[in-house]
A = this chain, B = another copy of it.
């Protein structure tokens, strides 16, 4: 790790020196050996003037690659400072899918400025892509793919592909279409490589081609690519006409986003806070705003429901004037154990519902309840031993033991069932967050504890 950081530091210093000495031609040549992302890293570190100067000497395809991968802020900054004609030439080299992803992140004014610069044909395609709802397959797909007509033979197809492949994002798969551009098959470059020249595409293609619908949630594309080990998946419209492809690098990006999203949401924050946190250019102010926006709501819910807990507590205040008043000291214990069990069960259930699309079946519920019973009994045993050693009264120990066991069971039941019920109601189970679970278990826990106490000693 350190060695890698050293070498990127060295590269940066070298670039900086060459820029200061104005050796731009040499610099351009040297950078040819480096990966786009390494050059992007250097650009991010450079001062404003150097940034534009370096970007302008990059070969068009490298510049295009960088704009495909960069953040919207960087994109706007660079494009607003370079020559319009140069920008147009760079846009021409860009994948329209990636360009539309960046346009999606901009406000309307900025977006229209860019759409004014690109060619008329590209503008139409971009507007088509931008029309898709966010997070659908259509909004995620790219336009650069290779199709061959099903009637071509291998030599014709190879000729066709060689003429087109420079434009295509991915030639890992070749999609076979009929005369109406409907997707009818797929083959890999490898299949083409090892087939006889005279075979037609229809002969050698795989007919049962996996695809996703353009207006479907992009999660479906993630699942298909992952399950079937694909490098790209075609996107078709309702009629089966090929509209674009989603490549595995897009899938990786989506997975990265969604993975941390689940955890942000569960802990009681938001997607939006994650997006801002991961944007390297976001200011402290933007971060604070996103953080407050994401979290404050859950904390207000916590506060308000805590008044209910306080109210229940107050209703049973008679306990304080009995000789069992020491049971009061165990209120936080009872509540925290219940809350923690519910957090565990709900996290596991939410993950199963969201990520794995697994049927949360009877066995899952059974597993949670049986495990909770075992965990509860162990906790009761430990608690009883500690309390005995501390010289606790038998009645108190019994009350605490029963309360722990019941709260553990209720926590597991509530943590498991709440996401399942919400899912059944077709709502997003990720509204089940740790803060909400915890505070609801406070309300349930304090009520159960005092009811048990009342049952034993009467209040």
Contact = CB atoms under 8 A, between A and B. Distances in A.
Interface of A: 33-35, 37, 69, 162, 165-166, 171-172, 189-190, 193-194, 206-208, 210, 225-231, 248-249, 251-253, 255-256, 258-260, 262-264, 266-269, 273-274, 277-278, 284, 287-288, 291-292, 295-296, 298-300, 302-304, 306-307, 309-311, 313-314, 317, 320, 325-326, 328-333, 335-337, 339-341, 343-344, 346-348, 350-352, 355-356, 358, 363, 366-368, 370-371, 374-375, 378-379, 382-383, 386, 404, 408, 434-435, 438-439, 442, 446
A302 B340 contact: yes
24 contacts: A33-B208, A35-B228, A69-B229, A165-B190, A231-B231, A248-B252, A256-B355, A266-B267, A266-B347, A277-B348, A287-B363, A292-B375, A298-B340, A299-B408, A302-B336, A303-B337, A303-B382, A309-B333, A313-B329, A314-B326, A332-B446, A336-B439, A339-B339, A434-B434
Contacts of A408: 299
A356 B263 contact: no
A332 B347 contact: no
Copies of this protein in the assembly total 2
Nearest to A208: B33
A330 B344 contact: no
Interface SS of chain A: helix, strand, loop or mixed? helix
A137 to B, nearest CB: 14
A300 B439 CA distance: 21
A278 B364 CA distance: 11
Q: Which 5 pairs, one residue from A and one from B, show the smallest C-beta to C-beta distance?
A: A267-B347, A259-B259, A306-B333, A291-B371, A229-B249
A33 B207 contact: yes
Contacts of A37: 227-228
B263 A347 contact: yes
Contacts of A311: 329
**Residue among A193, A306, A332 facing the most chain B CB atoms (10 A cut-off):** A332
Contact of A438 (B260, B288, B306, B336): B336
Given A269-B347, A278-B356, A371-B288, A225 B252 contact: yes
Given A194-B166, A288-B370, A295 B264 contact: no
A418 to B, nearest CB: 14
**Residue among A269, A299, A317 facing the most chain B CB atoms (10 A cut-off):** A299
Contacts of A348: 264, 267, 269, 273, 277
